[in-house]
Amino acid sequence: DAGITQSPRHKVTETGTPVTLRCHQTENHRYMYWYRQDPGHGLRLIHYSYGVKDTDKGEVSDGYSVSRSKTEDFLLTLESATSSQTSVYFCAISERETGELFFGEGSRLTVL
């Protein structure tokens, strides 16, 4: 199994609070992604990174920011959480741009 760890795995927070989700990989892969999974929508790309300090927006980036200061860590931040950001968040990594992604186990976020 690819070495991907997401933390926290579960979080409940209140509207307006900041939240940071962490993705840590031990594979030294170049590409990292954050997706959110919602019923009826499948997975939608939030942000991705193609190297240290190199990030770009995905399909649903509003309300989210990311940072990647080291190869192994990719952080997703919700500056002020809203109820619409209640979701399951998945981190994924890939060594090359082949479409073969390795996913973490997900982080379930509930915003009350």
Partner 1 sequence: GNSVTQMEGPVTLSEEAFLTINCTYTATGYPSLFWYVQYPGEGLQLLLKATKADDKGSNKGFEATYRKETTSFHLEKGSVQVSDSAVYFCALTGMDSSYKLIFGSGTRLLVRP
Residues that bind partner 1 (CB under 8 A): 4, 31, 33, 35, 40-45, 48, 58-59, 90, 92, 94, 97-106
What's the closest the beta carbon of residue 93 comes to partner 1, in angstroms?
Answer: 11
What's the closest the beta carbon of residue 52 comes to partner 1, in angstroms?
Answer: 19
Residue closer to partner 1, measured from CB, 43 or 75: 43
Tokens found for residue 10: 């579960």
Residue closer to partner 1, measured from CB, 75 or 101: 101
Q: Give the separation between CA 73 and CA 24, rounded to whole angstroms.
A: 5
Residue closer to partner 1, measured from CB, 58 or 63: 58
The three state secondary structure string of 50-98 is EECCEEEECCCCCCEEEEEEECCEEEEEECCCCHHHCEEEEEEEECCCC
Residue 36 exposed, middle or buried by CB count within 10 Å (0-12, 13-18, 19+): buried
What's the closest the beta carbon of residue 90 comes to partner 1, in angstroms?
Answer: 6
Residue closer to partner 1, measured from CB, 48 or 112: 48
